[in-house]
Amino acid sequence: MLSLLRVFVASCLLSLTCVAADRPNLIFIMADDLGYGDLGCYGQRVIATPQLDRMAAEGLRFTHFYAGATVCAPSRSVLMTGLHHGHTRVRGNAGQTNPAAQALQKGDITVAEVLKSAGYRTALIGKWGLGNVGAAQSGLPRKHGFDEFYGYLSQHHAHNHFPDYLWRNETREPIDNVVTYVGEDGAGYATEARHFADDLFADEALKFVSNNRERQFFLYWSMVTPHANNERSKVLGDGAHLPDYGPYADKDWPNQDKGQAAMISRLDAHVGRMLDHLKQLGIAENTLVIFTSDNGPHNESKHNLKRFNPSGPFSGTKRSLTDGGIRVPFIAWWPGKVQRGESDHVGYFADWLSTAAELSGGDDPENLDGLSFVPTLLSSGKQKQHEFLYWEFHEGGFKQAALYQGRWKGIRSGSENAPVVLYDQQTDVAEKNNVAAQHPEIADTIGTYLKSARTSLPDWEPRWSSEIQNAK
């Protein structure tokens, strides 16, 4: 009997070991304001991105994947909580006018908490944007599942790629740059620029992976390129500040264009370093790497959009609810596991939490808006599909958008009873032609959904442009 018990216990321990061994490390790499068309593998012809093109060739390139929002803070909130833009905690960029509105709160469950509970070592390196010191400290990263944090708490601070301090956990760590402060939350620009933040983040990311190669880990590597330094752009006319212009130094272009291209090629090289590092450590086959961007491309460095066509075939840029503002590159790389090729699966940031929970064996919280895309990644099982995806935008008058059945995009602005502008993405990817009159039943279906899609949240109540105008 004792022998049978020993065999049973040994079998259970072996089974648990096998389950643990099957769970991949997870690395989620996010660029900042990188457009769908900014990468060679998505049609870019001017800027060189050989490492991300290699990642796409060796992995799975998604062609119909969306950010959580058209600006950074709510997009990151959707990613962290698995809740769409009308349900997640942070629904806009509030800044210093109401910092608590741009902070996660106790009880907001994040993907980091799910993975930490499943035994993963968790780290955030780079930009956070969901909680700061002071009134927004409820959202500090280590209060929401991250064991380690190094980077920027505030997105305004993150505008400056050469800061004179970064946060390590809850401690300000000096950086040997000299900064002229402009605006709020540590924003400004460097007059003596010695250390580029994304270079520091890349080194930290590689170090974290090396230190945790013997166990499961989750790394959220949130880059700050190619976001503009808005304050430097306003004061000096050039928001594309980086150590050098790399392969574009001799181009007959304005410095803003050289800088924009060089930032994208520089982030590309950092991703390549990570992929090579995983192979050198011998853990590439047990590591899923995702690369994406938080929203569509910016135009705040004062560079020439026509030169680069960063939105690809889509209309709009950052702050637009057309696909140029929200459809993003999304590449999955996991040698020997993720199928190689291209996928037109329709997904968005809210899906990451459910996907990570399934891969890690962690507990998937209830009432999420996201759906796991593991069946698409591994070419196994039946992939669930979204009936609706939802976005909203609060700047300059409230707007809403929904994608219905992966095909029909409806956008409402002006007032809650305004007609829905309808686009058929199957025949009009640029969303140029309003077909609401030809498909009134589709427009009505989306319009009805938009009225019930969001939950009320005091800090983020809609102010339609008609209401703003009447209040003047």
φ, ψ for residue 422, nearest 5 deg:
-115, 135
Domain 396-471 in this protein, CATH class: alpha beta
What does the radius of gyration of the chain's CA atoms come to, in whole angstroms? Answer: 22
Take residue 276 and report the two structure tokens written for it: 């090579």
pLDDT of residue 466: 82
For residue 311, count CB atoms less than 10 angstroms from its CB and return exposed for 0-12, middle for 13-18, buried for 19 or more.
buried
Helix and strand tally (H, E) in the chain?
13, 18
φ, ψ for residue 196, nearest 5 deg:
-85, 125
For residue 448, count CB atoms less than 10 angstroms from its CB and return exposed for 0-12, middle for 13-18, buried for 19 or more.
exposed
Take residue 249 and report the two structure tokens written for it: 């130094």
φ, ψ for residue 456, nearest 5 deg:
-75, 140
Q: How far is CA 164 from CA 32, 187, 416, in A?
A: 20, 10, 45
User: Which residues, in sequence order, are CB contacts of 15 under 8 Å at separation 6+?
Assistant: none
Query: What is the residue whose two structure tokens read 């058929």?
Result: 424
Paired with 149 in beta bridges are 124
Query: What is the residue whose two structure tokens read 């605006």?
Result: 183
pLDDT of residue 472: 64
Closest alpha carbon to 105 in 69, 73, 143: 143
**Contact of 126 with 155, CB cutoff 8 Å:** no
In which element (H, E) is residue 228 found? none
CA atoms within 13 A on the CB side of 142: 11
Taking every pair of Cα atoms in the chain, the longest distance, rounded to a whole number of angstroms, is 84
pLDDT in tens, the chain (472 residues): 434 434 333 333 333 333 444 899 999 999 999 999 999 999 999 999 999 999 999 999 999 999 999 999 999 999 999 999 999 999 999 977 889 999 999 999 999 999 999 999 999 999 999 999 988 899 999 999 999 999 999 999 999 999 999 999 999 999 999 999 998 888 999 999 999 999 999 999 999 999 999 999 999 999 999 999 999 999 999 999 999 999 999 999 999 999 999 999 999 999 999 999 999 999 999 999 999 999 999 999 999 999 999 999 999 999 999 999 999 999 999 999 998 999 999 999 999 999 999 999 999 999 999 999 999 999 999 999 999 999 999 999 999 999 999 999 999 999 999 999 999 999 999 999 999 999 999 999 999 999 999 999 999 999 999 878 777 6
User: Which residues, in sequence order, are CB contacts of 320 under 8 Å at separation 6+?
Assistant: 70, 296, 326
φ, ψ for residue 428, nearest 5 deg:
-150, 75
Annotation: CATH topology of 22-385: Alkaline Phosphatase, subunit A (3.40.720)
**Contact of 405 with 442, CB cutoff 8 Å:** no
341-343/217-222 β-pairing: unpaired
Each domain of the chain, given as residue ranges in start order, spans: 22-385, 396-471
65-66/347-348 β-pairing: parallel
| Cα 278–chain centre separation | 22
The 388-393 sheet, strands edge to edge:
388-393, 399-404, 408-413, 421-424
